[in-house]
Amino acid sequence: MSQAQEQTHSQAQASPAGQSARTDGRAPYEDAFQRRARADAAARGTSWSKPMPARPVVAVAGATGAVGREMLKCLDKLHFPASEVRALASARSAGTRLPFGDGELIVREMTPESFAGVDIALFSAGAGVSRQMRQAVTEAGAVMIDNSSAFRMEDDVPLVVPEVNPYDVAWHNGVIANPNCTTIQMVVALQPLRALGHIDRIVVSSYQSASGAGAKGMNELRTQTREVLDGEPPTVKAFQHQIAFNCIPHIDVFHDDGYTKEEWKMVVETKKIFGDDTVRVAPTCVRVPVMRCHSESINLEFDRAVSVQDVRDAIVRGEHVCLEDDPANNVYPMPAMHAGSFDTFVGRVRRDPTVDGDRGVALWVVADQLLRGAALNAVMIAQLLLPDAARTGEGEDAREE
Ligand code: NAP
Ligand code: 2RA
């Protein structure tokens, strides 16, 4: 054990919280959270009694979109045991052929009748469409796994990141929400660090790619880049300002307190997923001219001393998190290198000396938000709904490819 580690352990044992450092790698708070989630679930009860078949019928609502296309790829790559996959979108796309596995799916127009016989409906067609279709989906007996912000903060809707709070799927009433992509990659990176102490405060600045605004955001970055390089005025439609060669500190609408709704989501969703109202989050969300993968600069304040080495070790042990941290050799995560990756990458791990008592740590986190922050998370939630016997190890192997 290094001097720094020894110091951390002795300080942890003498921490004001009076909790000694655990040696089993699990957060001292984790059991309490799990107990609370289960108690909450029991107290809430659930009206959902339909058992999930081992080979469910899956609908992908918004299949032609940036997230929907990735959902189809994830279902295939994770060998999700669907007996049928239906690709749904607006009337504009009816008849479009989408690649799926070794074949193709023909897109159908989404109507309330589309969900007859469906067991799981993966939604990524925007909040308005999710609201319109919720009743039809659940009345058809399908569980809606929704990527939009429509239902995330509703009391009877679990907000799930499988590495953090998988147990919360137990209390759904027909709808399970996928958190916002910026929140997901942050909590996946932070989850292993919760074993080191309570995270009291998070200061996060995001660098969000154009694909966060869907297919139209990607098209706008391509078009504007050409326009600007050709000396033409950029055509601004998808974002508030020119995105090519620019940064826009404005994602979603502004609230009265000066924060944007995107920033508000990071605050409230983190608390709900962690089951921890005491964690304080100070976010700034910025759109940057990157095609794919969101990046985040994160400063953490723990309730006790935490060594940089302990943070690195915890990340290495974390689920679906990779440490990429060798500054001497210019190694750190970057969005251009991780498009298409399932994992969340962490680098630039260092002391934040502005927090007293060795309690501050700074990190840099990168993930493909279309996958980790949306499509993959949704398909992993769907895996949690399968009966135990249907959850084979095959999907996990495929995930590592
Ligand atoms: P997108 O590329 O614009 O795709 C939208 C999809 O919704 C398309 O398939 C579109 O079909 C379909 N759609 C739109 N209106 C419809 C209607 N009235 N009926 C049926 N289908 C309709 O957007 P996206 O980026 O994939 O985002 C989709 C959702 O996921 C949004 O709620 C977004 O907030 C959320 N999300 C996105 C990200 C991300 O990184 N992009 C991350 C997390 C969550 P057509 O092709 O026929 O128009
Ligand atoms: C964005 N977080 O990047 C959003 C996508 N839902 O715009």
Residue 260 backbone dihedrals phi, psi, to 5 degrees = -90, 165
Total-model pTM: 0.90
- Residues pairing with 345 in the sheet: 322, 366
Nearest ligand atom owner, CA of 263: 2
Structural domains of the chain ordered from first start: 57-178+374-399 (3.40.50.720), 184-209+247-369 (3.30.360.10)
CA distances from 358 to 224, 281, 301, 308, 355 (A): 45, 19, 9, 9, 7
Element (H, E) at 189: helix 181-190
Low-confidence residues in the chain, pLDDT < 50: 1-30, 393-401
**Protein residue closest via CA to atom 1 of ligand 2:** 212
Task: Report the nearest-CA residue for atom 29 of ligand 1.
Answer: 124
Residue 252: what pLDDT? 97
Closest residue CA from atom 3 of ligand 2:
212
Instruction: State residue 47's pLDDT score.
Output: 75
Interval between CA 78 and ligand 1 midpoint (Å): 22
What does the pLDDT read at residue 25?
38
Which residues are marked as active site?
181, 294
Cβ–Cβ under 8 Å, residues 150 and 362: no
CA of 129 to the centre of ligand 1 (A): 9
Distance between CA atoms of 303 and 73, rounded to whole angstroms? 41
Pocket residues for ligand 2 (CB within 6 Å)?
Answer: 180-182, 208, 212-213, 251, 262
DSSP 284-315: EEEE-S-SS-EEEEEEEEESS---HHHHHHHH
| Ligand 2 pocket test target in 146, 147, 149, 181 with most atoms within 8 Å of CB | 181
CA dihedral sign of residues 182, 186, 191, 197: negative
Cβ 290 under 6 angstroms from ligand 1: no
d(CA 213, CA 61): 17
For residue 108, give the ligand nearest its CA: 1
Q: Is 377 a pocket residue for ligand 1 (Cβ < 6 Å)?
A: no
